[in-house]
Amino acid sequence: SQNIYILGIESSCDDTAASVMQNGKILSNVVASQKIHEEFGGVVPELASRAHQQNIVPVVNQAIKKANIAKDQLNAIAFTRGPGLMGSLLVGTSFAKSLAMGLNIPLIDVNHMQAHILAHFIDEEGFNKPPFPFLAMTISGGHTQIVKVSNYFEMEVIGETIDDAVGEAYDKSGKILGLGYPAGPEIDKRAQLGNPKAFKFTKPKVAELNFSFSGLKTAILYFIQKEIKANPNFIEENINDICASIQYTIIGILIDKLKLASKQTGIKHIAIGGGVSANSGIRQALKTGEAKFGWTTYVPKFEFTTDNAAMIAIVGYLKYLENNFSQQNVTASARLKI
Ligand code: KG4
Ligand code: ZN
């Protein structure tokens, strides 16, 4: 049978990434993360698009080289159309169009949030693919959604954040605590060394399957300000307990909504995706859910949690099989919906 080679390109935020895939299996997966944003404590859009422009050619070349194929063996170019930062999306979109035109092969546009979910269909040893229908919770620096997935391209958002994303809650809490950016991994590491019940933060009351994280950030800020008045060394002396308590609160919020979503839909197959799905607390809580609620859970391989191009390439492959191609006049879309 014929081999299908897809090049995936991701540039929606601050990672420039390219991946070559053969029939749903990864041949290469290259990511250039932009260090420049660390000193600003968050992504600076203007700097991000400029860095994409510098990185995109070397990253794509490296992905093709590592895959050990010739450019003219590629069957299609898949790229992230949105959602994301417009300036960043434009770099990947324009580049993908030009390359597809130059090689005279089809162009395939990909929704970044669908890709975080469909990353579960990358062919990887030791990883099971979820059966339809399943629930997907996408948790990242930009998004927090619960999606009912009935088929590859039949998805319905049944809950989402009304303000900050869960990754933002981690990063903004980290900023208050004087940790680096992004703070999620650091808070996670420290949380495992602390007491999750040391400090109590109230969970927000949000209707149905929606989330809210901006109140939590404010609660943490006021709490820290008050404690520092009494003890200037409060943060240093309690950092692990503070991190553990923040993580305990956030994971509690996520699991409460997942329980409700599973109950409302009757679906017990649950997948997670996005940067925060690397978190040890959510992984532990899902395991508990398997024992307690009869869930079957799907956690992506670590390299597919944060932004990557393999997830773009797999969507490209699935669309290729359906002859679902884009026109050359397709445009980037910062607020693209699932
Ligand atoms: O998916 P992603 O790489 O980029 C977006 O599309 O946003 O997610 C990045 C987010 C950041 O907010 C980062 O702090 C968070 O994922 N993150 C974590 C962990 N690893 C990354 N949050 C909690 N625990 C982690 N282990
Ligand atoms: Zn993402």
161: pLDDT strictly greater than 90: yes
Atom 16 (ligand 1): residue with closest C-alpha?
275
pLDDT band at 1 (very low <50, low <70, confident <90, very high): low
> pLDDT value at position 40?
76
Cα of 252 vs centre of ligand 2, distance in Å, is: 22
Query: Percentage of residues in the chain with pLDDT exceeding 90?
Result: 92
pLDDT band at 44 (very low <50, low <70, confident <90, very high): confident
Domain 5-119+306-321: give its CATH superfamily.
Answer: ATPase, nucleotide binding domain (3.30.420.40)
Q: Quick one: average pLDDT of 294-307? A: 94
> pLDDT value at position 46?
85
For residues 248 and 13, which has the higher predicted lDDT (pLDDT)? 248
Q: What is the pLDDT of residues 49-71, one digit of tens each?
A: 998 999 999 999 999 999 999 99
For CATH 3.30.420.40, the residue range(s) in the chain are 5-119+306-321, 129-299
> pLDDT value at position 38?
81
Q: What is the pLDDT of residues 140-152, one digit of tens each?
A: 999 999 999 999 9
Q: Quick one: average pLDDT of 108-124? A: 97
* pTM, to two decimals: 0.95
The CATH class for the domain spanning 129-299 reads alpha beta
Give the residue carrying structure tokens 């820290």: 224
Q: Quick one: average pLDDT of 305-326? A: 97
> pLDDT value at position 33?
86
36: pLDDT strictly greater than 90: no
AA letter at 329: N
> pLDDT value at position 14?
85
Cα of 291 vs centre of ligand 1, distance in Å, is: 26
Q: Quick one: average pLDDT of 181-209? A: 96
Residue from 80, 112, 114, 140 whose mutation best tests the ligand 1 pocket (most atoms within 8 A of CB): 140
> pLDDT value at position 37?
78
Query: Percentage of residues in the chain with pLDDT exceeding 70?
Result: 100
Check if 13 has its Cβ closer than 6 Å to any atom of ligand 1: yes
AA letter at 63: A
Cα of 237 vs centre of ligand 2, distance in Å, is: 34
> pLDDT value at position 129?
96
209: pLDDT strictly greater than 70: yes
Q: What is the pLDDT of residues 215-265, one digit of tens each?
A: 999 999 999 999 999 999 999 999 999 999 999 999 999 999 999 999 999
With 0-12 / 13-18 / 19 or more C-beta atoms within 10 angstroms meaning exposed / middle / buried, residue 263 is exposed
Cα of 113 vs centre of ligand 1, distance in Å, is: 14
With 0-12 / 13-18 / 19 or more C-beta atoms within 10 angstroms meaning exposed / middle / buried, residue 327 is exposed
Check if 80 has its Cβ closer than 6 Å to any atom of ligand 1: no
Note the ipTM here.
Answer: 0.98
203: pLDDT strictly greater than 80: yes
Q: Quick one: average pLDDT of 180-205? A: 96
Residue from 306, 308, 312 whose mutation best tests the ligand 1 pocket (most atoms within 8 A of CB): 306
Cβ(9)–Cβ(80) below 8 Å: yes
> pLDDT value at position 34?
79
Q: Quick one: average pLDDT of 286-292? A: 97
Least confident residue range of 31-40, 139-148, 263-272: 31-40
